[in-house]
Amino acid sequence: MRPHALRSDRHWDGSPRHLARRRGLQIAPTSPSRLLRAGQTGRCRHCGNRIDWYPRHDDRPIALHPAEVATADTPAPCRWHIGGGIAHPHDDGSAWCRIPHAALCPRQPPRSHTGSTRLTSVRRELAVHSRRLLDTGAFTPQPHTHTPAAAPDDAGGSTRPVVRILLVSYLGHSPLEDIRCVAQTRQRRRCTHPLLASHHPAGRWRLLPSGPGQGQLTLPDTTMAVYDLSHLPYTDQLRWRAQRCPTHAIGTAPDLALAGWQVFDPLLHAAHIHTHLPPPSALSRDKDRR
Ligand SMILES: [Zn+2]
Ligand SMILES: [Zn+2]
């Protein structure tokens, strides 16, 4: 008799003896995007239809229609594809592609190049759905603004700072002290730490030329208050651009939100140009955090 012979991997009732250990989700070190897809869906604030947010190669977010569409039915300027979590503005040679929601949004004027029959019918379906949401009170549209939809509502008003990171000026989405880390914590929530950290070198408020926009009309020569990080080490500036607190500056923690920087454009963002440095109280508050 061999009571312990032929130990099977299963109990007598067929249930597995060894349960596979649950693995946490991880971001591949080579992934160009660390943004978790979970939580990156939303609703268009004009029509209420579902949208998926994706970062582009320059980190600016774009809202795509959640479903794929046959590439053959889609005009070339509307074709996008996702590679490594990043949205690219062309198809990838496959039979299916993604489309920016703006090209389909029933609350925006139709674009001339979206005249394909298939896109017209998708747009009509979205219009019907939008109507239903409005009729049932499930959605209230917001007025059109020129702010890209990705930027959270202009909560900071004119207190959105212009920050110079790696020689590029960005407009922050909220006051400097309120800009929060986008990384996911071990508790699977978004980190609550601010970017400004007391034990880390901080930027300096300076008056710098507002400069012309890339290839655009120039404004009269003005200087504006810029929170300049140019003197910080490269890694610190990268941390700011990735919108991560010192704890999450390195490591494999994924992002739960998109960084809120917009490349500063003196014409588009004229309302955020300040010709004077912030009052001393604000300056010392920043200094306290150094
Ligand atoms: Zn819409
Ligand atoms: Zn953090």
Ligand 1 center to 89 CA (angstroms): 19
Quick one: pLDDT at residue 154?
A: 41
- Residues around ligand 2, an ion, CB closer than 5 A: 181, 183, 191, 193, 245, 248
> How many H-runs (helices) and E-runs (strands) does the chain carry?
3, 12
Are 119 and 229 in a shared domain?
no
Residue 182's Cβ-count burial label (10 Å; 0-12, 13-18, 19+) is buried
Q: Let me know if residue 237 belongs to a domain.
A: yes
Are 115 and 173 in a shared domain?
no
> In this structure, what token pair is assigned to residue 92?
């990838």
Ligand 1 center to 166 CA (angstroms): 34
Are 170 and 102 in a shared domain?
no
> Which of 70, 103, 135 is at the close of a domain?
135
Q: Let me know if residue 25 belongs to a domain.
A: no
Q: Let me know if residue 74 belongs to a domain.
A: yes
Ligand nearest to the CA of 48: 1
Ligand 2 center to 88 CA (angstroms): 28
> Which of 102, 135, 168 is at the close of a domain?
135
Are 241 and 191 in a shared domain?
yes
3-state SS of 193-209 is CECCCCCCCCCEEEEEE
Q: How far apart are CA 143 and CA 265, in angstroms?
A: 22
Are 113 and 165 in a shared domain?
no
Ligand nearest to the CA of 139: 1
Are 164 and 249 in a shared domain?
yes
Are 80 and 182 in a shared domain?
no
Are 184 and 101 in a shared domain?
no
Quick one: pLDDT at residue 63?
A: 93
> Which of 135, 167, 200 is at the close of a domain?
135
Ligand 1 center to 138 CA (angstroms): 15
Ligand 1 center to 235 CA (angstroms): 38
Ligand 1 center to 43 CA (angstroms): 8
Ligand nearest to the CA of 130: 1
Ligand 1 center to 69 CA (angstroms): 17
Q: Let me know if residue 35 belongs to a domain.
A: no
pLDDT in tens, 272-287: 888 888 876 555 454 4
Quick one: pLDDT at residue 287?
A: 47
What's the domain count of the chain? 2
Are 246 and 281 in a shared domain?
yes
Ligand 1 center to 136 CA (angstroms): 17
- Evaluate whether 245 touches 193 at the Cβ level (below 8 Å): yes
Ligand 2 center to 195 CA (angstroms): 8
Q: Let me know if residue 202 belongs to a domain.
A: yes
Q: What is the pLDDT along the chain (290 residues), one digit of tens a residue?
A: 555 555 677 787 777 777 666 666 667 777 777 777 766 888 999 999 999 988 888 767 899 999 999 999 899 989 999 988 889 999 999 999 999 999 999 998 877 655 678 888 999 999 999 999 999 998 888 765 544 433 443 433 458 999 999 999 999 999 998 999 999 888 888 999 999 887 777 899 999 988 654 444 555 668 899 999 999 999 999 999 999 999 998 878 888 888 889 889 888 888 888 888 887 655 545 444 44
Q: How far apart are CA 196 and CA 164, in angstroms?
A: 14
Query: Any idea which residue has 């946490």 for tokens?
Result: 24
Q: Report the candidate in 126, 122, 142, 150 with the shortest Cα–Cα distance to residue 53.
A: 150
Q: Report the candidate in 60, 115, 68, 113 with the shortest Cα–Cα distance to residue 91.
A: 68
Q: Let me know if residue 22 belongs to a domain.
A: no
- Evaluate whether 245 touches 195 at the Cβ level (below 8 Å): yes
Q: How far apart are CA 53 and CA 45, in angstroms?
A: 13
Are 64 and 162 in a shared domain?
no
Are 128 and 161 in a shared domain?
no
Q: Let me know if residue 251 belongs to a domain.
A: yes
- Evaluate whether 50 touches 66 at the Cβ level (below 8 Å): yes
Q: Let me know if residue 120 belongs to a domain.
A: yes
Which residues does 22 contact at the CB level (< 8 Å), separation at least 6?
none
Are 129 and 161 in a shared domain?
no
DSSP three-state, residue 146: coil
Q: Tell me the residue range of the domain where 222 lies.
A: 157-288
Ligand 1 center to 225 CA (angstroms): 35
